[in-house]
Amino acid sequence: MTKLSVNINKVATLRNARGGNVPNVLQVALDCEKFGAEGITVHPRPDERHIRYQDVFDLAPAIQTEFNIEGYPSREFLDMVLQVKPAQATLVPDPPEVLTSNAGWDALTHKRFLQEVIAELKEAGIRTSIFMETNENQINAARETGADRIELYTENYAKGFSVNRDAAVAPYVLAGKVAQELGLGLNAGHDLDSINLKFFAKQVPALLEVSIGHALISDALYWGLENTIQLYRRALQI
CA distances from 20 to 24, 144, 164 (A): 9, 45, 45
Is the omega angle on the peptide bond into residue 95 within 30 degrees of 0, that is, cis? no
Nearest-angstrom CA–CA distance, 13 and 17:
6
- The reply to whether 50 belongs to the active site is no
Catalytic residue among 33, 38, 43, 209: 43
What's the rounded Cα separation, in Å, for the pair 50 and 101? 14
214 is catalytic: no
- Evaluate the CA torsion angle 50, 56, 58, 61 in order and state its sign: positive
Q: Among 33, 38, 70, 151, which one carries the catalytic annotation?
A: 70
The active-site residue out of 38, 151, 190, 209 is 190
The closest alpha carbon to 184, from 124, 144, 125, belongs to: 144
Our CA angle for 170, 176, 180, nearest 5°, is: 150
Which amino acid, one-letter code, is at 78?
Answer: L
Catalytic machinery residues:
43, 70, 190
